[in-house]
């Protein structure tokens, strides 16, 4: 039977739970504090009920200490056990940042057995109404707030797997009643076929830029001292990078991870079996997002660019000599396709800057009207979306598109590109009309 001892304004309940391997008695304890203003009889009944429940939990084998662990205390073993490679480096860094910046300061003091949906609702409301990101200086997006709540649920699920909790209440709360909110459809930012044609023109077209050096006279007038024209070409490396990104729709981490071993110059195939992540200022090779390997075919023109760039890169290697950070001789094909001048792998952020420069130069020096400009609000990842849009528009099925883009499941493709597939409904209606109603005369 549980023993009860008064300690100040609280009561300590102790229950014997057998003996350990050394023969020492195992004692489990809990503290109960009465609500202010409780009458003596109410206090006795509530205290005895708590003691009975606590003893039942101990005798049933429940980890009573685990439930009293705070979310702050739980986060330490969680982050230790979930460290890469258990979680991907990017995922782990994201979870750790969310815990440190928002979740633990707001909820770290709460015992994990006491975290319920009402606590999540309060946390969500606080973020929506009061929180401003110190990084962006803006409120958090609904998606980011939802991700915070999912991280909290992940910690509680971890506690269940470790025997610290019997159940993650967040998984079950709100599932019996109420309707799920419909998924908000988002339209991926991508280029139309006409805009892509302009982007390709920007890759191929030499641009003449007139430079003028000026000198001020004493009276404030300005006269031209010297003028010259510079012809600017997009470098081979960047041409190849953006053509590959367009024609096979790979991710930026996959593109900069390609080595010459991955490009078959005879079959025009590119093998994608690895990627690169970028966490806390460092890059690291890893598996692809879906941990799968895929091969995609590119046009012969792209292979001709690859051959030309490889020859140019080899000249850089010879010129650098021992300072070349990559491979030499028979191992040369192990070098990354996209490298810095030293032979090191290209930085994952470099393509974005070059992409913006190419579009900006085209819009400034080539486009004669606003309608002829290349949209500057489409990010580099938009080339991947553009590839998907073209494939879907030309009746390629979701499973094949998923294979090309490297989605683990066609449902992912359908979810991301639902906007494109939805537009096929008009085409389907037209086909059905042609097949079934062509003989019907409309009066």
- Distance, in Å, from the CA atom of 291 to the CA atom of 407, rounded to the nearest integer, reads 10
Phi, psi (5° rounding) for residue 121? -65, -40
Among the ranges 6-15, 103-112, 389-398, which has the highest mean pLDDT value? 103-112
Q: Which residues of 426-441 are buried (b: 16+ CB within 10 A; e: fewer)?
A: eeeeeeeeeeeeeeee
pLDDT at 430: 55
Return the pLDDT at 217: 60
Check pLDDT > 60 for residue 438. Answer: no
User: Residue 179's pLDDT is what?
Assistant: 45
Distance of alpha carbon 379 from the chain centroid: 15
Burial (CB < 10 A; 0-12, 13-18, 19+), residue 367, is middle
Contact 358, 238 (CB under 8 A): yes
Q: How far apart are CA 79 and CA 83, in angstroms?
A: 6
Q: What SS3 state is found at 94?
A: helix
pLDDT level of residue 144 (50, 70, 90 thresholds):
very high
Judged by DSSP in three states, 373 sits in coil
Dist. CA 270–CA 324, nearest whole Å:
25
Residue 359 structure tokens: 């579009």
Q: Is the peptide bond before 85 cis (omega within 30 degrees of 0)?
A: yes
Four-CA torsion 289, 144, 70, 84, nearest 10 degrees: 20
Closest CA to 241 of 257, 222, 265: 257
**CATH number of this structure's domain 71-172:** 1.10.150
The structure's pTM equals 0.70
Instruction: Give the residue range(s) of CATH 1.10.150 domains in the chain.
Output: 71-172
What's the CA dihedral at 293, 399, 408, 348 to 10 degrees?
A: 60
Using a CB cutoff of 8 Å and minimum separation of 24, what contacts does 414-417 make?
Answer: 415/183, 416/188, 416/388, 417/188, 417/385, 417/388, 417/389, 417/392
Give the pLDDT confidence of 217-267 residue by residue, as tens digits: 656 666 656 777 888 889 999 999 999 998 888 899 999 999 999 999 999
Q: Provide Rg for the chain, Cα atoms.
A: 32
Beta strands in 185-281 (DSSP E): 207-216, 222-232, 263-264, 269-272, 275-279
């Amino acid at each position: 039977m549980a023993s009860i001892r008064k300690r100040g304004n609280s009561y300590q309940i102790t229950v014997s739970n057998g003996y350990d391997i050394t023969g020492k008695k195992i004692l489990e304890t809990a503290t109960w504090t009465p609500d202010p203003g409780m009458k003596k009889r109410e206090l006795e009944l509530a205290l005895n009920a708590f003691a009975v429940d606590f003893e039942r939990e101990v005798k049933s084998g429940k980890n009573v200490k685990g439930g009293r662990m705070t979310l702050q205390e739980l986060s330490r073993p969680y982050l230790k056990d979930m460290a890469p490679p258990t979680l991907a480096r990017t995922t782990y860094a994201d979870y750790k940042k969310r815990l440190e910046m928002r979740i633990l300061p707001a909820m770290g003091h709460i015992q994990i057995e006491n975290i319920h949906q009402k606590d999540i609702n309060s946390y969500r409301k606080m973020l929506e109404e009061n929180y401003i990101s110190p990084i962006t200086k803006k409120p958090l997006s609904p998606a980011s707030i939802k991700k915070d709540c999912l991280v909290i649920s992940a910690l509680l699920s971890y506690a269940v797997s470790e025997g610290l909790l019997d159940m993650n209440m967040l998984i079950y709360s709100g599932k019996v009643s109420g309707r799920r909110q419909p998924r908000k459809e988002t339209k991926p930012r991508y280029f139309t076929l006409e805009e892509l044609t302009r982007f390709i023109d920007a890759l191929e077209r030499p641009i003449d830029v007139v430079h003028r050096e000026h000198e001020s006279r004493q009276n404030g007038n300005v006269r031209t001292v010297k003028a010259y024209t510079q012809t600017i070409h997009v470098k081979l490396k960047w041409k190849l990078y953006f053509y590959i990104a367009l024609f096979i729709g790979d991710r930026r981490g996959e593109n900069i991870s390609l080595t010459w071993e991955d490009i078959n110059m005879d079959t025009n195939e590119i093998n994608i079996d690895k990627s690169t992540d970028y966490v806390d200022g460092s890059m690291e090779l890893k598996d692809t997002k879906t941990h799968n390997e895929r091969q995609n075919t590119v046009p012969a023109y792209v292979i001709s660019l690859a051959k030309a760039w490889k020859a140019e890169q080899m000249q850089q290697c010879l010129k650098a000599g021992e300072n070349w950070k990559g491979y030499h001789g028979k191992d040369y094909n192990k070098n990354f396709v996209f490298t810095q001048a030293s032979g090191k792998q290209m930085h994952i952020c470099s393509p974005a800057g070059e992409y913006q420069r190419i579009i900006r130069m085209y819009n400034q020096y080539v486009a004669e009207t606003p309608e002829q400009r290349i949209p500057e609000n489409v990010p580099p990842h938009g080339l991947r979306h553009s590839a998907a849009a073209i494939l879907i528009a030309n009746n390629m099925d979701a499973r094949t598109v998923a294979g090309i883009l490297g989605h683990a499941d066609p449902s992912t493709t359908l979810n991301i590109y639902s906007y494109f597939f939805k537009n096929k409904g008009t085409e389907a209606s037209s086909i059905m009309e042609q097949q079934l109603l062509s003989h019907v005369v409309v009066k």
